[in-house]
Amino acid sequence: MSEALKGAEAKGAETVFISLAGKNIKGCNACPKCGAAGKCAINDDMQEIYPILESADAIIVASPVYFGMYNAQTKAFLDRNYYLLKSGGKLAGKVGGVITVGGRSGHDFTAVAMMEALTLYGMYLPPNAFAESMSRELGAAATEEKAMNAAKALGERVADLAAKLK
């Protein structure tokens, strides 16, 4: 993610990094009145994340690949953005990209699932909207030159498209 942010910054974008690690993000419970009250009914750390997402021109989501899919925190985060859809499509028109990091398999399926979530929220994806690292050990992705170059290029593509759409 840091390389993707560097790529976006090289194109003139302001960036903000949000880590889901350690955050209290509960799963979506599909409230029938989602968005009607102007606030998600679940009071947790997503409340501090929503304003950042709403003000962003672009969002890159990164997740480790666990057992062939994104992790539980990423799932909760993506699901909980349903509130932004139901309260006026607040992610629509923004640009998105995804990054996956993990061992042997599941990257493509994980990336497609994350990109599908972004497009369901009305976001645009640049060509080649994802980057991946096949690193298993903690911190090893930072030493994988191909993955770092791909992440930086993703950040550049996301920033370029966001600038064009603005």
> What's the pLDDT tens digit per position in 68-93?
999 999 999 999 999 999 999 999 99
103 closest CA partner among 138, 76, 130, 129: 138
* Total tally of structural domains belonging to the chain: 1
Mean pLDDT value of segment 116-127: 97
In a domain, 57, yes or no: yes
pLDDT of residue 31: 86
> What's the pLDDT tens digit per position in 90-117?
999 999 999 999 887 888 999 999 999 9
Cα–Cα distance between 76 and 32 in angstroms, integer? 18
- Amino acid sitting at position 68: G
155 pLDDT more than 90: yes
In a domain, 66, yes or no: yes
Across 8-17, 80-89, 132-141, least confident range: 132-141
96 closest CA partner among 25, 152, 162: 162
pLDDT of residue 141: 82
pLDDT of residue 30: 85
pLDDT of residue 129: 95
In a domain, 18, yes or no: no
pLDDT of residue 107: 86
- Amino acid sitting at position 135: S
Q: Which domain holds residue 133?
A: 2-12+42-165
Beta strands in the chain, from DSSP E residues, in sequence order: 58-66, 69-70, 95-101, 130-133
pLDDT of residue 163: 97
> What's the pLDDT tens digit per position in 21-53?
999 999 999 888 888 888 899 999 999 999 999
In a domain, 35, yes or no: no
User: What is the value of pTM for the model shown?
Assistant: 0.94
- Check which CATH number belongs to the domain holding 115 and give it: 3.40.50.360
Across 35-49, 111-125, 137-151, least confident range: 137-151
